[in-house]
């Protein structure tokens, strides 16, 4: 058990290390003087912002120092929790900007991931054993999973927001309202939350349903199923076993899909101007706010790594074999 | 009379037509009899074994009947056949190593299987049977992956015979094992019959030398038809069908098995295609003593006590 | 966005080999069915013809293929039908679809149909280049790790896992944001560099199981060199699997590329389906009701990627006898 998690943690640690290094390395590949060109591209009028940027960039890059020193300084600042100051929302620290946006992204992502996973797996298993349903549901599932997240988001916003007028299509709550703990405000939050959630949910749902359907079909060909059939076991028992065995790779699949789902949430937020991390990224790119972009990047990587680790733990809890194997080994 | 098979025909559906894998097979297996069923790849022995318990997707029951203890088995009807499976006919599959659900503890799986068939399981009886095959009761608390291949195979043997079936089909159960395990498995099969847990048994194998050690009778198949059936000793010492003769003479010393794929080196040629087999005796192209009459299919006739052969020259 | 591990036709991490398509199309080569004559015993001499037979009768494969080919033809030859570039202001602004402009015009009077056809081109290009590069990296890593085993495998495995957990799109964002000038080729390069890990994993597992087979042993004993063994003996035996992997990578690369374009990190010159969506969103096509501006590009992406996925299921059924419907 310790060995298994030790190995996982090593990989996640290395990944984080790689991510930070990428973050440090990429600006160094820019042609010319990166500080000058970054400032020029930011296109900012306020002199104090320009000055702050210049000081910050030079401190950050520290081109006069040896390269290893530059690298260690970068880590030092990072470990202090210093992600720099946002250019777009000058002079708010990047960490603060991110902290404000994170709840919105998590509020979209976590329900969308969990619900789509549960519902998709159930539906996929259900469809796999009914010919007519399989033949109709399968193409729909493939179309859903092939749909770019942002396009489905646009379609939903257009159909249910603009044309039908049922849901608002921008922001996280009505601009006419003051944030607070009133029912009215919570209602507004939910109303604004629904469409981005629904588009994330639908695309992911299609993927899980198809994955489960394919897994079940393979499981039903497995030797243990043939044996049960040869012993005349009823279909109910066989399907229960097949589902149980097919769900395990789907948990692994969840870990593998995290990056894709996060990316989906980012572009969906952009469509709905939802004030989460996706929106931050868009603003950072449009305002050439590289501190914000890099901070958001590191934050997302960390979130994905933590989520991966949680899924690892869940997997061990769910798959009896890993537990048995580890019990025997330790 | 435990098992009576009459003119059984089971074909495989393929793109180019039916492959006549089992083309008119008639034989009986007596109460208490262990019958070895031997033949090369493609002789139809596995098809016969599967036909008696569960046809796979591409097999079709074309004709003939199977009677077990006086009741006809609906082998072409998957749903009606369920009533007979496990209770009356059971199987030890070739893939015993992977026949157990990997995510269930063995004890729990057995309990769920029994409950699903509406049978009450006596824990003491289960444990007695585990003892019989030399397994400790702790295996019930283990996942399949925690057992060795041999242990898994013995677990499957216990499960398959839990309801004391009339007929047990052991399908190539030794082919994945090393020589010493093969002997142990063969011994266990014998024990199952001697302890009265199964009435009769068909042991499908390509290894005559192994099945000879436990079988009462041996039946040899060739190209979808029966070639010869005789008491084990008679078949090995006095084979009458030219194919059986070649098979026996090609045998290495007892206990050493020949590879499945290396077609019998002593017999030139290969079996005829079963998609559109030629009329008459199917062995005649490879047969050293073939003559004009072999263009006509020889009947499978009894030439001695319990000894039947399908060859015009068998009586000579 | 379905970059790393297209969840669709291929389960991301199959439990060993059971869930993956059969490595070898011919069932005759599957050991363990002694005595059972099957279709292959009869048709073994013509496995290619047999596969073709099933391929021509597989509705999913044919339907998917038709969609992809039609769109590909449109992408290759379509743009030749215009005497103006995709971004030129040729018509009245915000005109709905008409005989002159089949898909209407943008807010600025650009021809949406022209943009769509040019955009298809860029989209296919990103798919082929990005997916192709990812397939090559995945194959090299997978073959070497699976065949060599030992510490080489350990290191490559570690590398694969690291790239696997890094959220690809976010890495691409960072890389692209710093680039002043972006091109389709560069975008494809980056996508290829980040989306190979699941393919490497799958190929490694397949190679691993093939390594122990007799014919590989024979090649090794006959003194064949490792690269030659991999490309002469191992790769051909899993060619169907490799092809299916490429198709999934192809579709995945298109989705990632479209997301990047949509965020505003697309090619700085030219047009792509993702860029069209980006422009439509940026200039409030939604609020203005210019549906002809944002529906075609999304529909194009969905059609290509969906058709690729459906094709893949069809191929799986063709190559894997267990899934065939008789």
The arrangement of strands across the sheet holding B225-231 comes to: B89-92, B167-171, B200-205, B34-38, B217-222, B225-231, B307-309, B301-304
User: Does residue B152 share a domain with residue B173?
Assistant: no
What is the 3-class SS of B191-249, one letter each residue? HHHHCCCCCEEEEEECCHHHHCCCCCEEEEEECCEEEEEEEHHHHHHCCCCHHHHHHHH
Contact B155, B101 (CB under 8 A): no
Residues of A with CB below 8 A from C297's CB? 151
Interchain contact, A226 vs B85, CB within 8 Å: no
Map out the domains of chain A as residue ranges.
99-319
Do B26 and B84 belong together in one domain? yes
Neighbours of chain C (3+ CB pairs under 8 A): A, B
Residue C320 belongs to some domain of the structure: yes
Tell me how far apart the alpha carbons of residues C256 and C196 are, in angstroms, rounded to a whole number: 13
C319 shares a domain with C203: yes
**What CATH number does residue B172 fall under?**
3.40.50.300
Are B71 and B118 part of one and the same domain?
A: no
- Res A102: pLDDT: 92
Length of chain B, in residues = 316
| Cβ-defined contact of C12 to A293 (cutoff 8 Å) | no
C-alpha atoms less than 13 angstroms from C-alpha of A260 in its C-beta half-sphere = 34
Closest-CA distance of chain C to residue B226, Å: 14
Contact across the interface for A252 and C13, Cβ inside 8 Å: yes
Q: Are residues B10 and B158 located together in one domain of the fold? A: no
Q: What is the CA radius of gyration of chain C?
A: 23
Question: Number of residue pairs across A and B with CB atoms under 8 Å?
Answer: 79
CA B272 – CA B132 distance, rounded (Å): 44
Query: What's the rounded Cα separation, in Å, for the pair C90 and C100?
Result: 11
- Specify if C49 maps to a domain: no
Contact C201, C142 (CB under 8 A): yes
Choose the final residue of a domain: B140, B164, B188: B164
**According to the model, what pLDDT value does residue A62 have?**
61
Task: Indicate whether B129 belongs to any domain.
Answer: yes
C186 plus C37 within the same structural domain? no
* Residues on chain C touching A262 (C-beta within 8 angstroms): 167, 169-170
Chain B contacts in chain C segment 29-88 (CB below 8 A): 32-39, 41-43, 50, 53
Residues B14 and B132 in one domain: no
Residue B275 shares a structural domain with residue B135: no
Q: Is A79 exposed, middle or buried (0-12, 13-18, 19+ CB in 10 A)?
A: exposed
Q: Mark yes or no for CB contact A257/C9 under 8 Å.
A: no
How many domains does chain B contain in total? 2
Interface membership of B169 toward A (CB under 8 Å) = no
The CATH code for residues A99-319 is: 1.10.3720.10
Range(s) of the domain holding residue C116: 59-324
Residue B191 maps to a domain: no
Claim to verify: residue C106 and residue C229 sit in the same structural domain? yes
Domain match, B10 and B140 both: no
The string of pLDDT tens digits covering residues C158-213 is 899 888 888 888 888 888 887 777 888 888 999 999 999 989 988 998 888 888 77
C196 shares a domain with C141: yes
* % of chain C beyond a pLDDT of 90: 26
Residues C233 and C122 in one domain: yes
- Which of A304-308, A318-322, B302-306, C270-274 has the lowest average pLDDT? A318-322
pLDDT classification of A321: cutoffs 50, 70, 90: confident
Q: What is the mean pLDDT of residues C110-119?
A: 88
A50 has a pLDDT exceeding 90: no
pLDDT confidence tier of residue C324, bands split at 50, 70 and 90: low
Confidence check: pLDDT of C250 > 70: yes
What tokens does A273 get? Answer: 């101007």
Overall average pLDDT of the A74-79 stretch: 80
Count CA atoms closer than 13 A to B153's CA, side-chain side: 22
**Shortest Cα–Cα distance, A194 to chain C (Å):** 18
**Residue B22, strand partner residues:** B10
What is the distance between the alpha carbons of residues A255 and B30, in angstroms, rounded to a whole number? 58
In chain B (316 residues long), the average pLDDT of successive 10-residue segments reads 89 82 91 91 87 87 91 90 92 90 91 91 90 91 88 92 93 79 87 91 88 91 91 90 86 50 54 79 86 89 90 79
Q: Name the residue facing C178 among A26, A162, A258 (closest C-beta).
A: A26
Average pLDDT over residues A206-224: 89
pLDDT (tens digit, 9 = 90+) per residue, C116-167? 999 999 999 999 999 999 999 999 999 998 888 888 888 998 899 888 888 8
List the CATH number of the domain containing C269: 1.10.3720.10
Whether residue B56 lies inside any domain: the answer is yes
Q: What is the mean pLDDT of residues A290-304?
A: 88
Q: Tell me how far apart the alpha carbons of residues C208 and B275 are, in angstroms, rounded to a whole number.
A: 36
Distance from CA of B52 to the nearest CA of A (A): 10
Q: Name every chain B residue with its beta carbon within 8 A of the beta carbon of C37.
A: 12, 19, 21, 41-42, 44, 47, 274
Distance between CA atoms of residues C243 and C295, nearest Å: 31
Interface test with B, best of A227, A237, A250, A319 (most B CBs within 10 A): A227
Backbone region of residue C267 per phi and psi (left: phi > 0; alpha: psi in -120 to 50; beta: other values): beta
Instruction: Please report how the helices A2-25 and C150-165 are oriented relative to each other, as an axis angle in degrees rounded to 10.
Output: 60
Contacts of residue A240, defined as CB under 8 A and 6 or more positions apart, other chains included, come to none
List of chains touching A (3+ CB pairs within 8 A): B, C
Partner residues linked to B90 by β-bridges: B168
Number of separate domains in chain C? 2
Range of B239's domain? 3-88+167-178+199-253+263-309
């Amino acid at each position: 058990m310790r060995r298994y998690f030790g190995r996982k943690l090593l990989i996640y640690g290395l990944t984080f290390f790689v991510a930070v290094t990428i973050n440090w390395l990429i600006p160094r590949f820019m042609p010319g003087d990166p500080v000058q060109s970054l400032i020029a591209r930011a296109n900012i009028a306020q002199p104090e912002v320009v000055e702050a940027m210049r000081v910050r960039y030079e401190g950050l890059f520290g081109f006069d120092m040896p390269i290893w020193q530059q690298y260690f300084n970068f880590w030092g600042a990072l470990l202090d929790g210093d992600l720099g100051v946002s250019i777009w929302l000058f002079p708010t620290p990047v960490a603060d900007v991110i902290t404000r946006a994170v709840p919105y992204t998590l509020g979209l992502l976590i329900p969308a991931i969990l619900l789509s996973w549960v519902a998709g797996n159930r539906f996929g298993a259900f469809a796999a054993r009914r010919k007519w349903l399989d033949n109709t549901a399968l193409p729909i599932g493939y179309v859903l999973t092939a749909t770019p997240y942002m396009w489905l988001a646009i379609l939903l916003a257009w159909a249910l927001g603009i044309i039908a007028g049922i849901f608002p299509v921008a922001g996280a709550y009505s601009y006419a309202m003051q944030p607070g703990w009133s029912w009215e405000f919570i209602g507004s939050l939910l109303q604004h939350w629904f469409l981005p959630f629904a588009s994330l949910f639908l695309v992911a749902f299609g993927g899980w349903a198809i994955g489960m359907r394919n897994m079940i079909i393979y499981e039903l060909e497995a030797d243990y199923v043939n044996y049960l059939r040869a012993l005349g076991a009823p279909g109910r028992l066989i399907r229960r076993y097949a589902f149980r065995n097919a769900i395990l790779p789907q948990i692994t699949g969840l870990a593998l899909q995290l990056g894709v789902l996060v990316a989906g949430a980012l572009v969906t937020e952009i469509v709905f101007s939802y004030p989460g991390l996706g929106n931050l990224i868009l603003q950072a790119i449009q305002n050439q706010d590289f501190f914000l972009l890099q901070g958001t990047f590191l934050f997302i990587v960390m979130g994905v790594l933590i989520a991966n680790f949680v899924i690892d733990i869940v997997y061990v809890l769910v798959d009896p074999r890993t537990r048995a194997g580890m019990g025997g080994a330790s | 009379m435990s098992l009576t098979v009459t003119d059984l025909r089971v074909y495989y559906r393929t793109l180019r037509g039916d492959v006549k894998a089992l083309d008119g097979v008639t034989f009986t297996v007596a109460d208490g009899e262990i019958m070895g069923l031997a033949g090369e790849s493609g002789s139809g022995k596995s098809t016969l074994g599967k036909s008696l318990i569960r046809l796979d997707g591409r097999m079709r029951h074309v004709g003939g009947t199977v009677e077990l203890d006086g009741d006809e088995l609906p082998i072409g009807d998957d749903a009606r056949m369920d009533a007979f499976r496990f209770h009356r006919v059971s199987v030890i599959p070739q893939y015993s190593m992977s026949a157990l659900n990997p995510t269930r503890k063995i004890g729990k799986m057995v309990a769920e299987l029994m409950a699903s068939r509406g049978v009450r399981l006596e824990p003491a009886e289960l444990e007695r049977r585990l003892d019989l095959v030399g397994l400790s009761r702790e295996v019930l608390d283990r996942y399949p992956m925690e057992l060795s291949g041999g242990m898994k195979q013995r677990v499957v043997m216990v499960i398959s015979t839990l309801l004391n079936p009339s007929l047990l089909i052991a399908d190539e159960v030794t082919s994945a094992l090393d020589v010493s395990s093969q002997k142990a498995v063969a011994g266990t099969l014998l024990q199952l019959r001697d302890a009265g847990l199964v009435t009769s048994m068909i042991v499908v194998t390509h290894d005559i030398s192994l099945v000879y050690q436990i079988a009462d009778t041996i039946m040899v198949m060739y190209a979808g038809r029966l070639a010869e059936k005789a008491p084990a000793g008679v078949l090995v010492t006095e084979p009458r069908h030219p194919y059986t003769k070649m098979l026996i003479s090609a045998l290495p010393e007892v206990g050493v098995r020949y590879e499945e794929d290396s077609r019998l080196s002593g017999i030139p040629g290969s079996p005829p295609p079963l998609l559109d087999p030629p009329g008459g005796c199917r062995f005649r192209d490879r047969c050293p003593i073939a003559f004009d009459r072999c263009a006509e299919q020889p009947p499978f006739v009894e030439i001695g006590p319990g000894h039947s052969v399908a060859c015009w020259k068998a009586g000579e | 966005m379905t970059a790393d591990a297209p969840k669709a036709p291929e389960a991301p991490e199959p439990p060993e080999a059971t869930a993956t398509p059969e490595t070898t199309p011919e069932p005759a080569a599957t050991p363990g069915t002694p005595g059972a004559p099957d279709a292959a015993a009869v048709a073994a001499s013509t496995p290619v013809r047999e596969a073709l037979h099933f391929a021509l009768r597989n509705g999913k494969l044919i339907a998917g293929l038709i969609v992809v080919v039609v769109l590909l033809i449109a992408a290759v030859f379509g743009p030749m039908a215009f005497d103006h570039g995709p971004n030129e202001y040729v018509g009245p602004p915000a005109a709905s679809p008409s005989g002159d402009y089949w898909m209407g015009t943008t807010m600025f009077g650009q021809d949406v149909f022209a943009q769509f056809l040019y955009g298809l081109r860029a989209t296919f290009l990103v798919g082929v280049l990005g997916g192709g590069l990812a397939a090559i990296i995945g194959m090299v890593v997978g073959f070497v790790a699976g065949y060599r085993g030992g510490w080489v495998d350990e290191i490559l495995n570690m590398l694969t896992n690291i790239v696997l957990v890094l959220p690809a799109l976010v890495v691409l964002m960072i890389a692209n944001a710093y680039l002043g000038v972006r091109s389709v080729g560069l975008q494809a390069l980056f996508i290829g560099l980040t989306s190979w890990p699941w393919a490497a994993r799958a190929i490694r597992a397949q190679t691993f199981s093939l390594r122990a087979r007799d014919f590989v042993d024979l090649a090794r004993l006959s003194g064949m060199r490792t690269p030659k063994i991999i490309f002469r003996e191992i790769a051909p035996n899993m060619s169907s699997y490799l092809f299916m992997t490429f198709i999934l990578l192809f579709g995945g690369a298109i989705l990632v590329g479209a997301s990047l374009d949509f965020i505003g990190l697309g090619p700085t010159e030219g047009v792509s389906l993702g860029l069209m969506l980006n422009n439509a969103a940026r200039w409030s096509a939604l609020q203005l009701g210019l549906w002809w501006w944002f529906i075609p590009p999304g529909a194009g992406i969905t059609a290509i990627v969906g058709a690729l996925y459906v094709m893949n299921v069809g191929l799986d059924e063709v190559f894997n006898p267990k899934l065939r419907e008789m």
